[in-house]
A and B are shown apart, each in its own frame.
Chain A
Amino acid sequence: MSLDLDLALALPGFALEARFVAAGAVTALFGRSGAGKTVLTRLLAGHLRPDRGHIRLGARVLVDTGARIFVPPHRRRIGTVFQDGRLFPHLTVRGNLLYGGWFNRGAAGPKLDEIVDLLGIESLLARHPGGLSGGEKQRVAIGRALLAAPALLVLDEPLAALDAPRKAEILPYLELLRDRLNLPMVYVSHALDEVVRLADTLVLLEAGRVRAAGPIGEIMTRLDLGPGPGTGRTEAGAVLAARVETIDRSYGLATLSFPGGSLRVPAAGLEPGQALRLHIRARDVAIALGPPRDVSILNALPVTIAEMAEDAGAVELRLVLGPQLLVARITRLSAEALSLRPGLVVHALIKSVAFDRGVGAGVS
């Protein structure tokens, strides 16, 4: 099911003009605060009317200003999980979870037991939201949205109000939803690590406009997008889908393979055959002209320089590795000393890798 959206809305002091088509399972709306993420989710949910444009979800037209179509919020079947949870304080957790069921009797959605089990909220059912922790509230809010049998789930900064341990508590559940339920999601965030872990399509918002939209691996390695919004360029890098091939117990190392190469990383928490997503940050990739000797870095991959761009005194390289792209960020001095230029074959030294299972590891 694809989300096709083309909207224009002028508000006092802010103008939104956004247009993209997202066909993936998880589409991330990424940008710093004020970029228009929240306005876009409100337009999706139907709490704001656009001046002009359309929203189509699969075959359904939710908004079309030309055809004077505006489906009201309660008929859109778009479930939203808000940053602040927004649980009903006068109902128990069970009452909150069942709320959507009163109005969606015809729709074939998940069962209460199934969702309660999936989110591990069995013990909370009889309680009121006031006594729940932030992480528990968000799990209940996710369950409540799912039980309304939505056609699209919008997660509006669901982790922004949580501290790091609570985030680590919720992220696996979001991955579980992505992998288990056949439900398209829009994930709104200004945290790149969450986006990289969950999304397959990235929509980069900047000052009310779509700066770039496309598969996450492609957007993340583009050099023309400039400093990463909100997080600084330091988080930019490549996103690869990989598999755990073998595990060497004597050294505690796992070999990960992906189209175009393989990497060795600490095996902690990994199982053979496991699929995971790697995030290789540009700042964690160094360049050597030949195959490196006498270095502690385990991973050196032969790559071809495709593109170079200067950015604030540093040089960013887009590197071709089989069908994959990597990004490296090095100093201008190094780039000149090594006479780097597009087309040159070099070795990319990977200093560290982050996985989507939440275990990040240095591999030097």
Chain B
Amino acid sequence: MLSPVEAAALELSLQVSFWAVMGSLPVAIALAYVLARGVFRGRALLAALVNLPLVLPPVVTGYVLLLLFGRHGPIGARLEAWFGIVLAFRWTGAALAAAVMGLPLMVRAIQLSLEAVDPGLEQAAAGLGAPRAAVFATVTLPLALPGLLAAALLGFAKSLGEFGATITFVSNIPGETQTLPIAIYSLLQVPGSDAAVLRLALLSIAVSLGGVLAAELVAGRLKRRLAG
């Protein structure tokens, strides 16, 4: 049904998006919690930094990633020297680019759902003897779960569609960094490949639609359960 090139692009896209969400979710939760509940100097600066990828041209974000995480970049060089991790021109780099691009959306969604949790319930938990970390794990997080799920979905969808920062940071290597959007872009450069482009576009739509539907169903069930 799918050609080997199409299958590879789809598999790579799912893999990159999955790990982008997995990697950025804990960071997004931590940032959202700090932004939702924290009162500290530099809060506005932190919020601005988190939102920066939303307003920067994706090419610029990709270029910054290349400067920082490239093999000669200040972070990339150390990652390679200390842990043997190379991000540039690898699928892991694509995941990093997708994670950075999706982060503002995820932080925003999680922050809203954390702010919707009744602080009275957290106080009640503290009164029953729960330390702050336990209150977060047993009350705040479970109550924010529908929002968390929505955030993960948003991040996943954003990652599936990420193009500019990815192609700038990790280029266009079939089987390594050529995700669905990059594969579509590559095919568009080849004359007479309209049918192939359409197939990939339809595939892309199907995957995204399936993801959105599944998340809607799960979020609906969670909300009903929380409403008792």
Interface residues of A (CB under 8 A from B): 45-47, 72-80, 82, 84, 86, 88-90, 99-100, 102-104, 128-131, 144-145, 148
Additional 8 contacts, C-beta under 8 A, given A74-B127, A80-B127: A73-B123, A74-B135, A75-B129, A77-B129, A88-B124, A89-B143, A90-B143, A130-B228
From A78, A86, A90, A102, B225 is in contact (CB under 8 Å) with A90
Once the chains are docked, how many angstroms separate the CA of A45 from the CA of B120?
Answer: 12
Check if A130 sits within 8 Å of B227, measured CB to CB: yes
With contact pairs A74-B130, A80-B127 given, residues A86 and B120 touching in the complex (Cβ less than 8 Å): yes
Residue from A73, A88, A89, A100 having most chain B Cβ neighbours under 10 A? A73
In the complex, B134 has a CB within 8 A of chain A: yes
CA distance A46 to B125 in the complex (A): 13
Pick from A45, A75, A86, A128: contact of B228, CB below 8 A: A128
Contact with A along B91-116 (1 / 0, CB 8 A): 00000000000000000000000000
Complex Cα spacing A82 to B131, Å: 20
Q: A88-B125, A88-B139 are in contact. Are A103 and B130 (CB under 8 A)?
A: yes
Tell me how far the C-beta of A353 lies from the nearest C-beta in chain B, rounded to whole angstroms: 38
Please give, as numbers and ranges, the residues of chain A lying within 8 Å of B118 by CB-CB distance.
86
**10 pairs across A/B with beta carbons < 8 Å?**
A45-B127, A74-B128, A88-B121, A89-B143, A89-B226, A89-B228, A90-B225, A99-B128, A129-B228, A130-B227
Tell me, yes or no, whether B220 is within 8 Å of chain A by CB: no
Cβ < 8 Å to A, chain B residues 125-145: 125-132, 134-135, 138-139, 142-143, 145
Smallest beta-carbon distance A33→chain B, Å: 18
Determine the chain A residues whose CB is within 8 A of the CB of B139 once the complex forms.
Answer: 88
- In whole Å, how far is B221's beta carbon from the nearest beta carbon of chain A? 13
Contact B228 A99, beta carbon cutoff 8 Å: no
CA distance A46 to B127 in the complex (A): 9
Ordered nearest first, which 3 A-B pairs have the shortest CB separation? Answer: A130-B228, A103-B129, A100-B128
Chain B interface residue count, Cβ-Cβ cutoff 8 angstroms:
24
CA A102 to CA B227, docked complex, whole Å? 24
With A88-B139, A89-B227, A90-B226 already in contact, the answer to whether A104 and B129 are too (CB < 8 A) is: yes
A-B contact count (CB 8 A): 74
Inter-chain contacts of A131 with B (CB < 8 A): 228
- The minimal Cβ–Cβ distance linking B186 to chain A, given in whole angstroms, is 47
| Assembled-state Cα–Cα distance A86/B227 (Å) | 14
- Report how far A99 CA is from B124 CA in the complex, Å: 10
**Contact of A82 with B120 at beta-carbon distance under 8 Å, contacts A88-B139, A89-B227, A128-B228 already known:** yes
Q: Do the beta carbons of B127 and A73 come within 8 Å of each other?
A: yes
- Distance of A100 Cα from B129 Cα, bound (Å): 6
A129–B228 Cα distance when bound, in Å, is 7
B150 to chain A, nearest CB (A): 17
Residues of chain B within 8 A of A145, CB atoms compared: 127-128
Asked if B128 contacts A144 (CB within 8 A), the reply is: yes
Chain A residues lying within 8 Å of B129, measured Cβ to Cβ, are: 74-75, 77, 100, 102-104, 148
| Complex Cα–Cα for A145 and B129 (A) | 10
Residue numbers in B under 8 Å from A100 (CB-CB): 128-129
Residues in B whose Cβ lies below 8 Å from that of A84: 120
**Which residue in A47, A79, A90 is a CB contact (below 8 Å) of B123?**
A47
Q: Which residues of A contact B143 (CB under 8 A)?
A: 89-90
Most buried by A among B124, B138, B226: B124
**Assembled-state Cα–Cα distance A148/B130 (Å):** 10
- Cβ contacts under 8 Å, A45 to chain B: 123, 126-127
Report the separation of the CA atoms of residues A128 and B123 in the bound assembly, to the nearest whole angstrom.
20
Give the docked Cα–Cα distance between A72 and B127 (Å).
9
Q: Give complex CA distance A103, B129 in Å.
A: 6
Q: Chain B: which residue is nearest A128 at the CB level?
A: B228
Closest CB in chain B relative to A128 CB, distance in Å: 4
B134 touches A103 (CB 8 A): yes
Provide the bound-state CA to CA distance between A89 and B125, in Å. 12
Q: Is the pair B124, A103 in contact by a Cβ cutoff of 8 Å?
A: no
Given A86-B124, A90-B143; A103-B131 close (CB under 8 Å): yes
